[in-house]
Chain A
Amino acid sequence: MFSEQATPTAQGLLAPPSAEASTFTRVPVLAYADCSQPFRLGERSFSRQYAHIYAARLIEMRPILEERARQKWGNGVALRKLCELRAGEKCCVVGTLFKAMQLQPSILQEISEEHNLVPQPPLPKYIHPSDELILEDELQRIKLEGAVEVQRLVTGTIFAVYGSEQDDGKFLVEDHCFADLPRPLPWNGPSSDRFVLLVSGLGLGSGSGDSLLSTQLLVDVVTGQLGAEGEQSCAAQISRVILAGNLLSQNTQSRDTINKAKYLTKKTQAASVEAVKMLDEILLQLCTSVPVDVMPGEFDPTNYTLPQQPLHHCMLPLASAYSTLQLVTNPYQADVDGIRFLGTSGQNVSDIFKYSSMDDYLEILEWTLLAGHISPTAPDTLGCYPFYKSDPFILTDCPHVYFCGNAPRFQSKLLKGEHGQQVLLVTVPTFSTTQTACLVNLRNLSCQPISFSGFGTEDDD
């Protein structure tokens, strides 16, 4: 555990000044490789239909699912396409799931004049008992019923169903399976304790100073200013800091310039300008001491659609001067000291949360891993770039650490797969509300939350 060895010298600094103050060297970066090339977009063209991404997804995942189907239901199982279905024949079909949801916000309904509808207010969950599942493949679609949990599944998932077509044209499902964990990666982890700090949801620019001291304490612990000598030496073992999105608060998103009259907003600065300056200063303090990877999030000044591109370095002039600052995409994949990290800033998980009955972020995270796709709901309900050649969100290798940012609370779980895969699932909580970050120990894939607090007038414990 972090700073366990610090205990003996905990009170060491409650003493007169010593002649020499010890300085610790930050553990050097053993190996780092940025593997998020598939998420970087070069020339972008939005003149394509989104159907291509579904086609690419299906083509890529079909072999994996057929393999799984054979493993599960025997080698002799009949793999049929929807157009080859015969009534009553038990077979397995691989296709894309579509969930017809009554409450799903539809732009066509909103602008339709005949309905005269007021736009639907945002709901926490859009599920409804009358939702239906439909399986689509390249040519046809068919309604599903039977042993499928309608509420749990979301649109865009590729999966295989085993059952038979009924006379009424619906497919009666007896069993289904997902792509399951992808193939494992070799383990090259460090032999001594090394930590990676995962933080998300710093929420700068929110106008409330509640978490500012906690943010400063976090920076101080990581840079080795805070704590007794033992703790500082442990902090020197933090080899990397990953900021997983939402560096800016939602409050910086106000679009006054659109709503208000021009004479009112003429000289007002966008709220994000001050917040980015604050972020730059914080990043500078971190970068002078530890390598930092900055992922953009939902409220950060970058593009909206997934994959979000890195923040532009011109916004962070002070911090970009240091080579320890890495501005990376969301989702982000990298090999840190031999351990494969894969994670997002949480948009994929929160979108699945909205459109399925799953409530636990960790459960959803695990589910996406088992479904073999980082964000199946893109592009249906989550903005996505219209890929056409391949879908970069498909999981091809099993990461060692799989995280999502901006979760309501900290959770972690070590998932073990059939083929020796070991995945540490981490939901990184929003720092601005929980003042908690995560420390991942690379040696044994364990995770520990680290929380910060100041004191206030109402403090009574």
Chain B
Amino acid sequence: MEDELYLENIDEFVTDQNRIVTYKWLSYTLGVHVNQAKQMLYDYVERKRKENSGAQLHVTYLVAGNLIQNGHICHKVAVVREDKLEAMKSKLATIASVHVYSIQKALLKDSGPLYNTDYDIVKTNLHNCSKFSAIHCAAAVPRTSAEVPQVQTSVQAGSQTPSDTNAVSVPVVNGHGPSTAKQTAQQPKGIMGMFAAKAASKPQDTNKETKAEAKEAPGVSAVSSKPPAKGNIMNNFFGKAAMNKLKVNSVPEQPKEEKEVVKPSVPVAEPESSPSPVVEKPGKKTESARIQQKDKKSKMKRMDKSDNEEERVPENLKKKRKRIKQLQSDSSDEEDVPPSPMPEEEKAPSPPPVPALKTELEPASTEVSAGGKKRKRKRVLKSKMFIDEEEGCMVTEKVYESESCTDSEDDFAKSKPPAAQKQPVLPMRKEPKEERKNLKKGAATANRANKQVSIMGFFQKK
């Protein structure tokens, strides 16, 4: 019968499982009204004691009543052990209720375990915590879903806008929690996207030694799907030309490589358009300077970032990059082939703005190189051959010339435009360069030490 069933259950809980069976716990477990649970516990205690007077059962009771204290009537509610029950009852002027609170095998020293039991069972039943209660409140209905969003819309509106920039700004901001998406302009979006891609791929590929081909332009464009094609274009020539100009001393090249590997597929997905690169250029200049600063910081604190799981870019971006990466890194051969058509494509629209941008960026780059990041300006020992006018002979000289390259892969793709630009620069720079050879040597060797050997070393610029 039903009666016996609950007795057996309680018996099992108390003796076999050695649990503390509180009325609330029993009520939730058996799905009965709290008052019935209390009565069940009482019944169990009575029967057990009748059968077996030496039963190892400790009971706690709840006593509630009025107490005269300090001149006013205080209503007291107390959980007491069985041995203190009568003492408490005698203290109260009037008793409002007495019932069994819990049954357990062991003697409880204090009421802590009772609280824990109740807490656990309530926690697991939070959604219907008043189901078995003796009071039912008609007003306690959950708000309809229509009302709730009204309160939350304003909160969400701010946070939903560029979630991609969210991803971007997260790694960029130094070691702090994910900052709110600040950049809403499209231009910065594109630039930030570029950084997002780089930063995201960083943790993934820190181990990888794969070198990307020269993908400066497509490499730089944002991987995240959101940035518009406009931003892409900017990133394109930003990567190509600007990276030539802007050099960083200490920034490792590896992240750039990875980024570039990742990038190539994205431009394929996004259609290219050339709205007005010129207009965007000045904007980009300042942005690039700023971004480079941030990027440097982000690189410096890469250790920080790897610690902070919360600051990881969103899952989707990560996955996307992973996917793209795998396409690229399958075999080194493939690396060359797919990317190489890319840069040529990119270069087609971009060469016209590139030289202009280069000249613009040059002054900017000199300022930025102090704190610069991805784009390095290195002094590279090169042998130059020219015809000496005076003596009418060919002279081959080893000179240090300053060139900007993100890594060796950049050299490959940039060979055409940078080479064209460098020629006029060279004669002016030669003398000072020779003087500063010693200084540059150190820098160059340092750069070379930082730089990792890559397969693209074969395609070094002469």
A77: interface (CB < 8 Å): no
A103: interface (CB < 8 Å): no
Residue of B nearest to A16 (CB): B43
Is A225 a contact partner of B137 (Cβ separation < 8 A)? no
Q: How far is the CB of B123 from chain A (nearest CB, A)?
A: 7
Residue of B46, B99, B151 with most chain A CB atoms under a 10 A cut-off: B99
Question: How many Å lie between the Cα of A439 and that of B73 in the bound state?
Answer: 11
Residues of A92-109 contacting chain B, CB below 8 A: none
Is A18 a contact partner of B129 (Cβ separation < 8 A)? no
Give the interface segment out of A148-156, A284-292, A375-383. Answer: A284-292
A140: interface (CB < 8 Å): no
- Proximity bits, A194-228, B CB within 8 Å = 1, else 0: 00000000000000010011001100110111111
Is A212 a contact partner of B42 (Cβ separation < 8 A)? no
Q: Which residues of A contact B80 (CB under 8 A)?
A: 455
Task: Take A228-B96, A324-B140 as given contacts and tell me if A23 and B33 are in contact as well, using a CB distance cutoff of 8 Å.
Answer: yes
Question: How many Å lie between the Cα of A288 and that of B126 in the bound state?
Answer: 10
Residues of A413-461 contacting chain B, CB below 8 A: 436, 439, 448-457, 459, 461
Q: Which residues of B contact A251 (CB under 8 A)?
A: none
Residue of A nearest to B143 (CB): A323
Q: Which residues of B contact A223 (CB under 8 A)?
A: 129-130, 133, 135
Question: How many Å lie between the Cα of A322 and that of B112 in the bound state?
Answer: 30
Residue of A22, A291, A321, A461 with most chain B CB atoms under a 10 A cut-off: A321
- Proximity bits, B133-149, A CB within 8 Å = 1, else 0: 11111111111000110
B461: interface (CB < 8 Å): no
A318: interface (CB < 8 Å): yes
A118: interface (CB < 8 Å): no
Q: Give the A-B pair count, Cβ closer than 8 A.
A: 246
Q: Which residues of B contact A11 (CB under 8 A)?
A: 95, 97-98
Q: How far is the CB of B414 from chain A (nearest CB, A)?
A: 40
Is A21 a contact partner of B36 (Cβ separation < 8 A)? yes
Is A289 a contact partner of B99 (Cβ separation < 8 A)? no
Residues of B103-147 contacting chain A, CB below 8 A: 108-112, 114-115, 118-119, 122-123, 126, 129-130, 132-143, 147
Interface residue from B39, B84, B110 paired with A13 (Cβ < 8 Å): B39
Is B115 a contact partner of A212 (Cβ separation < 8 A)? yes
Is B97 a contact partner of A213 (Cβ separation < 8 A)? no
Q: Which residues of B contact A322 (CB under 8 A)?
A: 140-143
A236: interface (CB < 8 Å): yes
Q: Which residues of A contact B133 (CB under 8 A)?
A: 23, 223-225, 289
By the criterion of a CB under 8 Å from any partner CB, how many residues of chain A are at the interface? 76
Question: How many Å lie between the Cα of A218 and that of B119 in the bound state?
Answer: 13
Q: Which residues of B contact A450 (CB under 8 A)?
A: 74-77
Is A454 a contact partner of B115 (Cβ separation < 8 A)? yes
Is B97 a contact partner of A228 (Cβ separation < 8 A)? yes
Residue of A nearest to B97 (CB): A228
Question: How many Å lie between the Cα of A226 and that of B141 in the bound state?
Answer: 22
B179: interface (CB < 8 Å): no
Is B126 a contact partner of A281 (Cβ separation < 8 A)? yes
A10: interface (CB < 8 Å): yes
Is A7 a contact partner of B99 (Cβ separation < 8 A)? no
Interface residue from A10, A18, A453, A454 paired with B98 (Cβ < 8 Å): A10
Interface residue from B36, B129, B143 paired with A321 (Cβ < 8 Å): B143
Residue of B33, B137, B140 with most chain A CB atoms under a 10 A cut-off: B137
Residue of B nearest to A32 (CB): B139
Q: Which residues of B contact A281 (CB under 8 A)?
A: 122-123, 126
Q: Could you list 9 A-B pairs, sorted by A, with CB under 8 Å?
A: A4-B66, A14-B98, A23-B133, A23-B134, A212-B115, A217-B77, A226-B77, A451-B77, A459-B84
Q: Which of A's residues lie within 8 Å of B, judged by CB? A: 1-4, 6-7, 10-18, 21-26, 28-29, 209, 212-213, 216-217, 220-221, 223-232, 234-236, 266-267, 281, 284-285, 287-291, 313-314, 318, 320-324, 412, 436, 439, 448-457, 459, 461
Give 6 new A-B contacts, CB below 8 A, not counting A13-B42, A289-B140: A11-B97, A23-B136, A225-B24, A321-B143, A456-B109, A456-B111
